[in-house]
Amino acid sequence: MAYKTTGKGYADVANHFRTLIQDGELAPGDALPSVQEIREQFDVSAKTVSRALSVLKREGHVTSRGSLGTVVTAVPQAVATGAARLDRLNRTGRSYASGETSTDHVVMLRSCADPDICEQLDIEPHDEVVIRRRVFRQDGRPTVLAVSCIHPRALAAVPELLQEGQLRPFWQKTYTERTGLTVSRGPERRSARLAASYELAALEVEAPANAAVPVLVLHTAFHDENGPIEVWEDVYAPGLWQVSTSP
């Protein structure tokens, strides 16, 4: 495996190994190269390597194991954002990180009454949209309720959007291949609000009826040259406030 990167600082070294871990290229229990190997491969000082490894240890990605050196820990602490998951998919072709799965896939064609989604998709209230919903899990624990709201014009090119289950390849790739239109991603918007009862149920959160449970919500919009095409809304389980933007 090549460990060389163009970065020369400790943050670059840390980010390189962080990405390998979160992409699954380095699995739990795998050993990182020795300090001397990292020094040679990155052309950095021993102090730089030490600082990089310290960052990874604080984040919970690695730990020291005596004669084994520095090894990847079993459970990553950060949960990836939707945009970071997409970046990982584009880099590696892998839909999931180590220990990650998705369940409870739901697909439907429904009218949209959410004014924020209508505005982001540039549609009229109660126009139909494709909704694809799933729950991401880390080692079996629900972490994110991910909802995709897709403009109905995408159906003409990708009718498979109404199929149940995960689409392979990612539908935007199929859309670009069939239409020649490139889909671009806008910046993520982060906000907090109170969770709806169905969101708590999907995330397996037990709470008294009408309880006020705050959740972190990330919005990401996608466009092609004809306008908005998709909006993602990721709802994170309570307590998961450490979110990785670069899995």
Whether the CB-CB separation of 38 and 27 falls below 8 Å is answered with no
Q: What does pTM read for this prediction?
A: 0.75
Residue 23 has pLDDT above 90, yes or no: no
CATH 1.10.10.10-classified regions of the chain: 10-72
Angle of the 46-58 helix axis to the 35-42 helix axis, nearest 10: 110
Q: Which fold has domain 10-72?
A: Arc Repressor Mutant, subunit A (1.10.10)
Confidence of residue 10 (pLDDT cuts 50, 70, 90): very high
Main-chain phi, psi angles of 187, to 5 degrees: -70, 150
Predicted local distance difference test score (pLDDT) of residue 109 = 97
At 235, which helix (H) or strand (E)? strand 227-236
> What pLDDT does residue 247 have?
52
Six token digits for residue 128: 């139909």
What is the average per-residue pLDDT within 232-246?
75
pLDDT of residue 239: 77
Mean pLDDT of 134-142: 92
Q: State how far the Cα of 95 lies from the Cα of 136, in Å rounded to an integer.
A: 11
**Average of per-residue pLDDT across 175-201:** 95
Q: Which fold has domain 79-244?
A: Chorismate lyase (3.40.1410)
